[in-house]
Structure 1
Amino acid sequence: MKKNYLSIDIGGTNIKLALIDHSGQIQSKKQVRTPHEYGAFIATLENEIELVLDEIRGIAFSCPGKIDTETGMISFGGALPFLDGISFIDEFQPKFALPISVINDGKAAALSELWLGNLNGIENGLALVLGTGIGGGLILDGKLYQGKNFQAGELSFMMKPSDKPSFDDTYGKTGSAVGLVKSVNRVLGTEDLKDGAAAFEAINQKDPNVYPIFEAFAREIAYMICNIQAILDLEKIVIGGGISAQPIVTEEIRKQYRAIRAGLPFVEITLTEVEIDSCRFLNDANLLGALYQLLLNADEELSMPSI
């Protein structure tokens, strides 16, 4: 019997592919550039699937956009707008006669943490994914909560009061990790404003010229957590996205969260502090979460190792 599944994480720059077994052990990984034209995009995926077709028993996709996990229908497509209105289930199931699932990339990250990561065993939690904007996946009653329109957890769209509302007034703008890196590098005079290594070298050294920028960023995320906690009363929130590989990110968010609470004694007394941790999985999160969605769809008995 074929033991592995093919998990595919579609990003605006690269497509990551992995062969993963039923217990979540990654057997092999690769990545290819993402074509930005529909025909070339589908041809690339078909070619990669054909290469491993004899080894797999299902295909799991993680993808940007609003995803109907029941039909596989993609809306909007994020950085890949040509995917709007496309169903990967309709596109690939007739060709390969295999079970296929599709899930939003932020929600895939949450599922990976629920299955094998730092939300394992948590009834009510949140994976908060910091990137260009802020994605998220809510775990309520031990399950991913997607909402009526499959858009629960789109934290970028949380608004702040404004006389003339714009995207600048959203947490997706003020809590953007990409925006943070660019702001720090502008002050440093770094040629490449997207150079995360340069930005975090200065942040980790607590360079007085840029550390206040980082503190303000962490405080934005902390305020968001305060508001989420007031509504949902979660057990645990895990911080994901590329910058979460830097321990100082979760540490500073936790510090700012506690400082906000300490400044509001009534809130501190009334609302229980939520645990804030980092995600266990970084680059592999979407691959693992996509597979977990496929297994849930198939109603298979899942292997849930203790952490």
Structure 2
Amino acid sequence: MKKNYLSIDIGGTNIKLAIIDHSGQIRSKKQVRTPHELEAFLAALEEEIRLVKDEIRGISFCCPGKVDTETGRISFGGALPFLNGISFKEVFESKFQVPVSTINDGKAAALSELWLGNLIGIDNGLAIVLGTGIGGGLILDGKLYQGKQFQAGELSFMVKQSDKTSFDDMYGKTGSAVGLIKNVNRVLGTEDLKDGAAAFEAINQKDPSIYPIFESYAKEIAYMICNVQAILDLEKIVIGGGISAQAIVTEEIRKQYRAIRSSLPFLAATLTEVEIDSCRFLNDANLLGALYQLLLNADEELVAHK
């Protein structure tokens, strides 16, 4: 009997693929470049699936965009607009005779933490995913809450008061981890503005020319957490995304959150401080969360988290 699953994390640059067993153990991983034309994209996926079709009992996808987890249909597609209207379930399920599911990538990250990570046992929590924008997955009553239109947790679209009312004043811009790295590298004079290693080497050394940029960034996320917490009264918030591998990220966000509370005694006296932690899973979070959604869809008995 086939025991494993194929989980596929679709990004704007790369497609990550992993063979994972029912308990969430990753057996093998690889990645390929993401084609940016639909026909070539679907052909690349089919080729990868055929390589492992004899050892899998299901296929799980996560991707950018709004995803109806019931039908698998994708809307918008984020950085991959050609995904708009596509359902991987319709494309691949009958072709390979295995169940197929799809979920938004930010929500997949939250599911991985709920299943096996730092949201285990949490009834009400949030995973914040810091990347090009800010993704999120909201856990309410022990389950992923997606909303009527499958758009709950899209933190990038939180609007701040501004005379301009442009995307530059939304959290997706001011809270962008990619934007942070570019801003730091501009000051450092780094040739590659996307060089995260160079940016965080300076941040971890608390270079006085750039650390205030990082503090300001962390404060943006902290303000957002304050606002979310005032509405939802969560038990725990976990910070994910590539930069969360740097311990200083969660540490500084937590520091700025507490500083905001200290500066507003009435807020601190009224609203209980929420626990802020890092996500357990980094590059594997989306792969694991996507599989958990497939298992939930299949109503597997062993997926109930403890």
Shorter-chain TM-score tier: over 0.9
SS at match of 1:302: helix
Question: For residue 27 of structure 1, what is the aligned residue in structure 2?
Answer: 27
State the shift of 1:303 in Å. Answer: 4.7
Whichever residue aligns with residue 285 of structure 1, its letter is A
Identity %: 84
Range 294-303 or range 262-271, more displaced: 294-303
Question: For residue 299 of structure 1, what is the aligned residue in structure 2?
Answer: 299
Question: For residue 289 of structure 1, what is the aligned residue in structure 2?
Answer: 289
TM-score (norm 2): 0.99
Aligned-partner Cα distance in 2 for 1:261–1:96: 54
Aligned-partner Cα distance in 1 for 2:166–2:266: 32
Whichever residue aligns with residue 256 of structure 2, its letter is Q
Matched, 1:141 2:134: no
Contact 1:116 1:304 in 2 (8 A): no
Map 1:18-167 to 2 at 5 A: 18-167=18-167
Aligned-partner Cα distance in 1 for 2:252–2:54: 47
SS at match of 1:209: coil
Aligned-partner Cα distance in 2 for 1:174–1:305: 35
SS at match of 1:248: helix
Aligned-partner Cα distance in 1 for 2:29–2:86: 26
Cα-to-partner distance string for 1:228-282 (whole Å, 9 max, x where unaligned) = 0000000000000000000000000000000000000000010000000000000
SS at match of 2:214: helix
Aligned-partner Cα distance in 2 for 1:48–1:203: 39
Whichever residue aligns with residue 242 of structure 1, its letter is G
Question: For residue 200 of structure 2, what is the aligned residue in structure 1?
Answer: 200
State the shift of 1:302 in Å. Answer: 2.3
Give ranges in structure 2 of 5+ residues lacking alignment.
none
Aligned-partner Cα distance in 2 for 1:147–1:162: 27
Give ranges in structure 1 of 5+ residues lacking alignment.
none
Contact 1:23 1:304 in 2 (8 A): no
Aligned-partner Cα distance in 1 for 2:50–2:140: 37
Cα-to-partner distance string for 1:54-104 (whole Å, 9 max, x where unaligned) = 100000001110000000000011111111011111111121111000000
Aligned-partner Cα distance in 2 for 1:240–1:282: 7
Cα-to-partner distance string for 1:11-59 (whole Å, 9 max, x where unaligned) = 0111000000000000110111111111111111111111110100000
Question: For residue 228 of structure 1, what is the aligned residue in structure 2?
Answer: 228
Task: Give the ranges of 4+ consecutive aligned residues of structure 1 lying more than 4 Å apart after TM superposition.
Answer: 303-306
Aligned-partner Cα distance in 2 for 1:304–1:277: 23
Aligned-partner Cα distance in 2 for 1:83–1:151: 17
TM-score (norm 1): 0.98
Aligned-partner Cα distance in 1 for 2:61–2:140: 23
Over aligned residues, Cα RMSD in angstroms? 0.9
Whichever residue aligns with residue 18 of structure 2, its letter is A
Contact 1:2 1:56 in 2 (8 A): yes
Contact 1:112 1:288 in 2 (8 A): yes
Question: For residue 5 of structure 2, what is the aligned residue in structure 1?
Answer: 5
